[in-house]
Amino acid sequence: MKEVLLAAKGLCKQFPQDAGKEQVLKEIDVDIYKGDFTVIMGSSGAGKSTLLYALSGMDSITAGKVFYRGEEISRYKERQMALLRTREFGFVFQQTHLVSSLSLFENVAVAGYLDSGKDTKAVRQQAEELLSRMGVEKAKDRFPSQVSGGEAQRAAIARAVINRPGLLFADEPTGALNKRNTDEVLKLLTGLAESGQSILMVTHDVRAAIRGTRILYLEDGKILDEMSMGVYREVESKEREKKLNDWLSGLSW
Amino acid sequence: MDGLLRKEMEMEMKTLWLAGSRRHKGSLAGIFVLILLLSVTILTVLTVWQNAGRYVHDEMERLGFGKITAWVSGVPDIERLTDGIKALPEVERADTQPVIFSEYEVNGQKSDSEGQLVTYEPDKYPYKIFTDDMTGYQTGNARIEQGEIYVSPSLQSMFGVETGDEISFRIARNSVVKSFIVKGWFEDPFMGSSMIGMKSFLICGQDHEEIVRMIAGAGIDALARDGYMVHIFQGDAGLSTAEFNGVLNGGTELLQYAEFTHSDSAIFGFMLTLQNVFTGLLLAFSLILTGVSLIVMGHGISSAMERDMADTGILKTIGFTTKRLQGVQELLFLSPVLWGMVLGSLLAVPAAQAVSRMTLTTTGILLPAGIPKGLCLLAMLTVFLILAGFVYLKTARIEKITPMKAIRRESREREGIRAGERTRLFPVCQQGLGFWMALRQLVTGRLRYMGVCLVAVLLVFFASLIGRISSWLGPDGEGLMDAFNPSDLHIAAQPMGETTIEDVERLIRSYTGITDQYMLAMPGVTVEGVDYTANVITEPERFHMLEGRTCMGADEIVLTEFVAADLNVGIGDTVQVSGGLGTLEYRISGIYQCANDMGANVGLSREGYRKIGRETSNMWCVHYFLEDAGKQAGIMQALDETYGGDVYLHENSWPGLYGILSAMELLMYFMYGIVAVVVLVVISLTGGRLLIMEQKDLGVYKTIGFTSVRLRFSFVLRFGIVSLAGAAAGVALSTLLTDPFVAALLRTFGISNFSSHMTVSNTLLPAMAVVGLSVAFSWLAAGKIKRCRLIGLITE
């Protein structure tokens, strides 16, 4: 029996400017399990990113409840949410969203500094190791405007995992990257998943989605279907891609 | 066809202008507020300055004040004296105005200078009578009944006089007084200012005759004296005041009867001292405000151009030229300037009226509030041209924006790289993370904070300058007391009749011991033919010396800076000094400080004076230092009650001093108010701009666990650090510049002893006020951080 990490019950979302129109998310019930690399797919405008940000507490919800490790976080005050983001949640965005005035190393380290339980030396060492693991140790003293998109995104992943979050949220992490950088970033995410990191990723890219162990398909604000796959193996990528494409074809993808 | 095209282009410009106005309404509103404040300040100050000068000059002329006016008494035959004066070829005419000199007492306070009772003769001397509420003048002549008196409004600030109060004039010993009831107020353009101790009073002819009879009847017991103001008008000789004065003294008996003489320019200077000092300071403040406005405008323009960069590129792709786009920006930023100036010009009229009303009881004159159009138009045009030139220069870089450069936001990227290089010196540490983050953001966007820093420098500099002046003045006006008194004292007594100085000292000692004493007399002398008051002292080492040494020798004299400049002489030179006994040559041993008569006085030792003047029994005023200075007020009251008019008493102060201190306090409050508004505008504009630019970063910080409060603290800290740095520079600047700047201003009024020093209240307080306001306003501006939604990150 898998442990439920994140759960939504009757989750609804409607943007204020769309009052009176259809909801973007319609009473979604979903469980995200510990250790899973969960992927949310869906057609454009289906509400994938909206669901990701509603689940992660980045955006308010209209109705329903969100639970993390059994505790309702949808009613959290800002301070509780900030603590949750420091220690339990990590975020990777499509645009890297690194702080422009901080070097890559500092972008990673600052997130570590926020965790008051850690000492400076440990954080710095951990940041160095992560950047090295992400393959950007040579660019660590550069600023976001001085590195390539791929390097910036790898630094962003390092920042997201420095506090060993319970769940890593990734919103189209390869959406703005070229093929080479996409492969590198996906490899990193797969590696993290293999090491036991729970990941919840939104993507419309099949090559990215095949890295997941569980695929949710969202359409018109509802989870239409889901599919499970085994842990990703490079040699099985073609078969996984075919399986996923077949499944998506059945869902009018 | 051309006309149609032009019309379309005008519409395009109008459309862009309106869009820009909507988008940058915050910046434009801030500029409008600052220009409004600047315009009101400049126009009000210029109005007060110009109107005061012109009005006092016109009134002096209207009321028949000559090139020189001599106050004479004890003249046996006034016609013979004036005929002698008129006989001089350099004199055009000489008019006489009968007066009575007398000390007076009002509301339990004794005057420290004599008053002069002037007979109200509206046909000859049409003094203006104020309405009861002192907001204007009565139409027609006043009717002064016996026992009624009209006084200058400055008596309100000096003695708290109200209509219905009683004023008693000491006519003779044995309590022979003549009392009047204050009926109303009149405008005295010669002596109305509270800077002038001697005051004029208007009475009716019958009362004048009665007092003359009382004086005659009192014989040797008379304290009051009847005399005249002799207004002497110069012909076409084209002599300077000093030369004309020399001609009068040399060719007539005037010196024999003159109690004192003043030129029209000296009286003009006395009357306008306060206005000129304060308008000088406010004009300097206006310059600071102009600097602040330029900084704020620069900030607003940079911010707007940065936000509009992509749009500018797009507009260029559809055919807009640099010239047209620059024109739109100029129009955009000069519109609030123009509106601010127009509204400022309208508000300057009530502001000048308010200043006129508020200063009436200090200056004694109701200044016309009409704006001097030529001068004000010139000032506004100058300010506008400066601002327009600045806007042109700031918007000129539109030319360098190519469409693709704008769309790619190259400038921001380059800025990021440059910022990166600068920041290596400031690592972000876990301990004090908020501080290090703030410092990093500061270093990264240093140009954006430069405006706040410069504004803090300018505001703290000026506030500290005013604080230093205020400290120099002291809580009881000690600075001015030192400036006006040639030497220090606690109390001074000058027996005028039967009371002896021993009686006075006995009474003083019954309260507290006398630690030291010396004597000072103030007879008139002429130096190089020009009349001056001589401060004759028994202990010359007590003079407040500025340069050289005091006049220890009998053939030595000390001059004020004013007299030295007037006579074009310096230390070591010799001057011819004349007194009642003759003329001798004296060597100038030093320059001393005494702002009495705007600095028109000299200092002599007793031995020095004896060589040219005759000592009289009651010329000496004995100056005492008390063991317990806290008993000064009680002793003064006891002396006054015991010896009344028999002893002339004074302290190291004068009633008008408190008016000056109040005006200074008012000026400080006004400037602190302006400083608060300016800081609010600058922080709102800078803070708003930064929040817009950092919206993404703020979102990112929130996603990694920063709380809004923590981000808000970090934001505020940046402004705190910047304003603190600016405040420190402002304090340093005021330390360097206050003394030369203020000393130069005050020297023109005969005050040469200005020297300031740093205190908590004059230095730390303005600095902390500016830093505190910056922090408080940035905290308010940072309220938007809480509303910064993370969803913004998704929409990119």
Q: How far apart are CA B411 and CA B416, in angstroms?
A: 9
Asked if A85's CB is within 8 angstroms of B697's CB, the reply is no
Among A73, A99, A126, most B C-beta atoms within 10 A, so best to mutate, is A99
- Using a CB-CB cut-off of 8 Å, the residues of chain B touching A82 are 702, 705-707, 710
- pLDDT for B793: 54
Q: Cβ of A85 and B702 within 8 Å?
A: yes
Nearest CA in chain B to A100: B416
Residue B795: which pLDDT band, with cuts at 50, 70 and 90? Answer: very low
Which chain A residues touch B705 with a CB distance below 8 Å? 82-83, 85-87, 111, 114-115
Nearest CA of chain B to the CA of A111: how many Å?
Answer: 6
CA distance A156 to chain B (A): 11
pLDDT digits (tens, 9 = 90+) for A76-98: 988 898 889 989 999 998 888 88
Q: How many CB pairs under 8 A join A and B?
A: 105
Sequence-ordered list of residues with C-beta below 8 angstroms from that of B605, at least 6 positions apart, any chain: B536, B537, B538, B540, B551, B552, B553, B554, B556
Q: Does B416 touch chain A (CB under 8 A)?
A: yes
CB-nearest partner of B796 from A91, A95, A142? A95
The answer to whether residue B2 scores a pLDDT higher than 80 is no
What residue in A sits closest to B445 (Cα-Cα)?
Answer: A101
Q: Is B549 exposed, middle or buried (0-12, 13-18, 19+ CB in 10 A)?
A: middle
Q: Which pLDDT tens digit goes with each residue over B378-412?
A: 999 999 999 999 999 999 888 877 666 665 555 55
Report CB contact under 8 Å: A101, B440.
yes
Q: pLDDT digits over B153-181, tens only?
A: 999 888 889 999 999 998 988 788 999 99
In the prediction, which pLDDT does A215 show? 95
Instruction: Enumerate the residues of chain B whose CB falls inside 8 A of the CB of residue A100.
Output: 416, 419, 444, 697
**N-to-C CA span, chain B:** 45
Mean pLDDT of A186-190: 92
Fold topology of A35-54+79-249: Rossmann fold (3.40.50)
- Read off the pLDDT of each residue in B684-690 and give the average, rounded to a whole number: 83
pLDDT digits (tens, 9 = 90+) for B117-141: 999 999 999 999 999 999 899 988 8
Query: For position B424, what pLDDT does the model report?
Result: 64
pLDDT in tens, A129-141: 999 988 899 999 8
Angle value at C-alpha A152, between A148 and A156, nearest 5 degrees: 170
Q: What is the mean pLDDT of residues A115-139?
A: 89
Among partner residues A78, A83, A102, which is closest to B428 by beta-carbon distance?
A102
What's the whole-number mean pLDDT along residues B235-262? 84
Comparing CB atoms, the residue among A58, A95, A109 nearest residue B790 is A58
Poorest-confidence range of A150-164, B340-354, B510-524, B694-708?
B694-708
Residue in the structure block whose two tokens are 């003779």: B172
Bridge partners for B493 per DSSP: B622, B649
DSSP B470-518: HHHH-TT-HHHHHHHSSS--SEEEEE-SS--HHHHHHHHHHHS-EEEEE
Closest alpha carbon within chain A to B446: A101
Beta bridge partners of A201: A39, A170
Angle between helical axes of B433-444 and A104-113 (0-180°, round to 10):
150
Percent of chain A's residues with pLDDT above 70: 98
Rounded to the nearest integer, the mean pLDDT of chain A is 90
Q: Which of B419, B704, B709 sits opposite A159 (nearest CB)?
A: B704
* Contacts with A95 from chain B: Cβ below 8 Å: 793, 796
The pLDDT value given to residue B423 = 60
- Amino acid at position A75, single letter: R
How far apart (Å, rounded) are the C-alpha atoms in residues B786 and B781?
11
Lowest mean pLDDT among B213-217, B281-285, B476-480, B578-582: B476-480
* B128/B62 Cα distance (integer angstroms): 11
Q: CA of A95: which chain B residue's CA is closest? A: B796
For chain B, give every domain's residue range: 1-63+248-408, 64-247, 409-478+655-796, 480-654
Token digits of residue A248: 């998506």
Asked if residues B169 and B115 have their Cβ atoms less than 8 Å apart, the reply is yes
Distance CA B491, CA B508 (A): 10
Query: What does the buried/exposed string (b/e) look like for B345-362 if buried means 16 or more CB atoms within 10 Å of the residue's CB?
Result: bebbbebbbebbeebbbb
Alpha carbons A48 and A221: distance in angstroms, whole number: 8
Nearest to B707 among A79, A100, A109 (CB): A79
Nearest CA in chain A to B411: A145
CB contact under 8 A, A78 and B707: yes
The pLDDT mean for chain B works out to 86
Task: Report domain extents, chain A.
Answer: 35-54+79-249
Distance CA A187, CA A191 (A): 6
Give the pLDDT of residue B783: 87
ipTM over 0.90: no
pTM above 0.80, yes or no: no
Is residue B790 over pLDDT 70?
no
Asked whether B466 and B671 are in contact (CB, 8 A), the reply is yes
Q: CB A97 to CB B703 under 8 A? A: yes
DSSP annotation of B76: S
User: What pLDDT sits at residue B476?
Assistant: 73
Nearest CA in chain B to A106: B428
Task: Give per-residue burial for B3-39: e unless 16+ CB within 10 Å, then b.
Answer: eeeeeeeeebbeebbeebeeebebbbebbbbbbbbbb
CA gap B535, B521 in Å, rounded: 6
Interface contact B419, partner A, CB < 8 A: yes
User: Residue B418 — very low, low, confident or very high, per pLDDT cuts 50/70/90?
Assistant: low
